Amino acid sequence: MDTYTFSQLSEETLKTLVTLNEKDIAPAEWEKMQVALTAEESRRLDDIKATLRHRHLVVMNETTLWARAIYPMLMLAEQGHIQAWSGVPLKASYLTFELEGEADGALAPAIGGRIRPPYLIVNEAKRGIQAPDPQFQLYGEMLAAAWLNWEKKPKPEQEIFGCYTVNDSWTFVRGVVSDIETDKPTFTIEFSPVYNGIWDAEQIVQLLKFIVAKHLEEINSG
């Protein structure tokens, strides 16, 4: 059985591992996936935006950009035992292939201070000519997270969310993995519009909150 790290994945490789169905959905559908911010969350978000407006984000190094522009917004979506995480190790063993590596970030449950399978994966685009494509790297991370959630609670269709960031722009992805126990699972993907991390910050956090609320609802319903 072959093992692939997330940075190795390309569109061609993924298509040999899974049946890949990609599609855009109308922006209006993503606009429905929102939970309103509280007054305190709005105040904290205004502070984040005020700082970012005076920074040269395009030339900022990746670690600093993550700390200033991405992770603080993930933290605004925390609720209950769902927390924002950085440097999330993932490993999955499908029937005919294995995936492993580390995601830049995630929203995931915490029990006793330890991370449990994540429901939203975040990939920050790396810079440089040899940098991996963030989109296909994210697909691999989402497939690994979906498998971990399926292992914990098997379902015919395993939903998983992800997003990749390029500088301060965010693109969300909703994925559904089906036929997970077959030689070639099916991975269906839907893309959001591209959101600007400053001008669309409210929509980004509202969407993150929706994803967390959806996950909590599924947990509470058993």
pLDDT tens column, 102-135:
999 999 999 888 999 999 999 998 765 555 678 9
- Residue 65 has what pLDDT? 82
- Is the confidence at residue 217, as pLDDT, over 90? no
Residue 53: which pLDDT band, with cuts at 50, 70 and 90? Answer: confident
The better pLDDT of the pair 137, 128 is held by 137
- Is the confidence at residue 209, as pLDDT, over 80? yes
**CB under 8 Å to 141, separation ≥6 — which residues?**
6, 90, 101, 103, 121, 123, 162
Q: What angle do CA 125, 16, 5 make, to 5 degrees?
A: 40
Q: Side chain identity at 103, as an amino acid letter? A: A
pLDDT in tens, 62-112: 888 888 889 999 999 999 899 999 999 999 999 999 999 999 999 999 988
| Least confident span in 23-27, 147-151, 172-176 | 23-27
Q: Report how many domains make up the chain.
A: 1
- Residue 150 has what pLDDT? 95
Residue ranges making up the domain that contains 9: 2-220
- Rounded to an integer, what distance in angstroms lies between the CA atom of residue 3 and that of residue 24? 30
Which tokens belong to 52?
């970012």
- Is the confidence at residue 29, as pLDDT, over 90? no
- Residue 146 has what pLDDT? 97
pTM (2 d.p.) = 0.93
- Is the confidence at residue 57, as pLDDT, over 70? no
The better pLDDT of the pair 50, 6 is held by 6
Segment 23-46 shows an average pLDDT of: 90
Which tokens belong to 34?
């929102």
Residue 175: which pLDDT band, with cuts at 50, 70 and 90? Answer: very high
- Rounded to an integer, what distance in angstroms lies between the CA atom of residue 27 and that of residue 24? 9
* Phi, psi values for residue 2, rounded to 5°: -80, 145
Q: To which H or E segment does residue 82 belong? A: strand 82-93
Mean pLDDT estimate for the chain: 90
Q: What angle do CA 134, 213, 21 make, to 5 degrees?
A: 40
